[in-house]
């Protein structure tokens, strides 16, 4: 997962700021990693189980505050992070809310290409509830990933007895996303400077060439990555640095208070 930075003094070329950068300067980076994982998962599950728009909106707002204030993510950068899930969820919810018929139906409809595209108040409400619930889950996961580095998450997965090979593969894939994203950005910049995206035909050709070159570069980078690990003593086991972090009583209390607050919002919403 990469972030396109909105500041000129970016720590990565082409304005790319990855998740680990924000995790490294988060105010809650010193919290126990397992506690942060458990907290985010509980909040996510509550958001899904309680299934009330009011609860979902509360999670979205509060997790947004955590990400902007506690994780020190600039507001505009955080909005940028939400663009991709927002786009996917918006498209999915529109499809859920819409229906197609040859006869006039629904509370709202448009006649187009010989068919009626319609929706109902119930359908809009159902789609909106699903949208907010999914965005609440996404916000809870962002609160975790923006405060916990990939290596720390790998350590938590190992403690949960996830197979070692799976954990190591996930970590390497995560690292390669940023490498390939940066390479792809440079290739696209070069193609744009040579009018490679001047029209649709040229764009398709450039896209194909970049894809093919990226595949070759990924193989070369993988060999370099492996050689670097071997030169540092890699023998089939990829250790992760784990710092001992104690769960403080006030942190557990704050989580319980927050969960009780969500339960209170649910009770008020269902009355």
> For residue 224, which of 165, 179, 188, 190 has the smallest C-alpha distance?
179
Over 70: is that where the pLDDT of 70 sits? yes
One domain for residues 53 and 138: yes
pLDDT at residue 48, as a whole number: 92
Could you tell me if 77 and 195 lie in one domain? no
Q: Answer yes or no: is pLDDT of 12 > 60.
A: no
21 plus 133 within the same structural domain:
yes
Give, rounded to a whole angstrom, the gap between the first and last alpha carbons of the chain.
Answer: 40
Do the domain assignments include residue 60?
yes
Identify the band that residue 260 occupies on the pLDDT scale cut at 50, 70 and 90.
very high
109 inside domain: yes
C-alpha 120, offset from chain centre: 31
Tokens of 207: 């896209």
Domain check: are 117 and 235 in the same one?
Answer: no
In a domain, 8, yes or no: no
Q: Across residues 221-248, what is the average pLDDT?
A: 80
Question: Percentage of the chain with pLDDT > 90?
Answer: 32
**DSSP β-ladder status, 115-119 and 99-101:** antiparallel
Q: Is 170:154 a contact under the CB 8 Å cutoff?
A: yes
2 is a domain residue: no
Mean pLDDT, range 216-227, rounded to an integer: 83
Whether residues 23 and 132 share a domain: the answer is yes
Provide the β-strand partners of residue 115. 112
pLDDT surpasses 60 at 13: no
Supply the pLDDT for residue 176: 79
Count of domains observed in the chain:
2
Q: What is the mean pLDDT of residues 188-217?
A: 87
Residues 49 and 94 reside in one and the same domain: yes
So what's the pLDDT on residue 11?
41
Report the pLDDT value the prediction gives residue 201, as an integer from 0 to 100.
Answer: 87
Same domain, 34 and 100: yes
Residue 159 lies in a domain: yes
- In this prediction, residue 18 carries a pLDDT of 66
- Mean pLDDT (the chain) is 84
Print the domain residue range for 68.
Answer: 13-143+243-271
For the segment 49-68, the average pLDDT, to the nearest whole number, is: 94
Same domain, 56 and 135: yes
Question: Does the structure show a pLDDT above 60 at 115?
Answer: yes
Question: Which range has the top average pLDDT, 14-23, 103-112, 186-195?
Answer: 186-195
Question: Is position 7 within any domain?
Answer: no
Same domain, 235 and 165: yes
The verdict on 21 and 130 lying in the same domain is: yes
Higher pLDDT, 61 or 167: 61
Give the mean model confidence (pLDDT) for residues 127-148: 93
Q: Same structural domain for residues 30 and 126? A: yes
What pLDDT, on a 0 to 100 scale, did the predictor assign at position 17? 53
Question: Is 219 among the domain residues?
Answer: yes
| Whether residue 124 is found in the same domain as residue 209 | no
CA distance 88 to 164: 32
Is residue 6 in some structural domain? no
Determine phi and psi for 101, rounding to 5 degrees.
Answer: -150, 155
pTM of the model: 0.76
Give the range among 13-27, 128-142, 193-207 with minimum mean pLDDT: 13-27
Whether residue 223 is predicted with pLDDT greater than 60 in this model: the reply is yes
DSSP 8-state symbol, 68: I
């Amino acid at each position: 997962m990469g972030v396109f930075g909105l500041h000129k003094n970016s720590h990565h070329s082409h304005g790319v700021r990855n998740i680990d950068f924000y995790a490294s300067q988060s105010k809650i980076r010193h919290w126990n990693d397992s506690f942060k994982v458990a907290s985010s998962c509980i909040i996510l599950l509550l958001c899904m189980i309680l299934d009330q728009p009011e609860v979902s909106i509360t999670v979205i707002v509060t997790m947004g505050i955590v990400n902007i204030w506690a994780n020190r993510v600039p507001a505009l950068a955080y909005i940028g992070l939400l663009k991709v899930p927002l786009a996917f969820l918006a498209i999915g919810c529109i499809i859920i809310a819409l229906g197609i018929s040859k006869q006039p139906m629904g509370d709202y409809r448009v006649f187009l290409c010989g068919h009626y595209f319609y929706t109902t108040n119930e359908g809009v409400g159902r789609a909106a509830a699903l949208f907010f619930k999914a965005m609440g889950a996404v916000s809870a996961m962002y609160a975790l990933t923006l405060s916990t580095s990939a290596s720390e998450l790998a350590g938590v997965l190992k403690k949960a007895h996830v197979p070692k090979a799976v954990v190591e593969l996930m970590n390497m894939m995560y690292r390669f996303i940023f490498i390939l994203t940066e390479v792809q950005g440079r290739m696209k910049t070069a193609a744009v400077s040579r009018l490679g995206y001047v029209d649709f035909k040229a764009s398709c050709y450039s896209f194909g060439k970049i894809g093919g070159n990226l595949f070759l570069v990924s193989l070369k980078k993988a060999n370099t990555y492996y050689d670097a690990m071997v030169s540092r003593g890699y023998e089939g086991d990829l250790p992760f640095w784990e710092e001992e972090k104690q769960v403080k009583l006030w942190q557990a209390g704050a989580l319980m208070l927050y969960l009780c607050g969500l339960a209170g919002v649910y009770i008020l919403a269902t009355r």
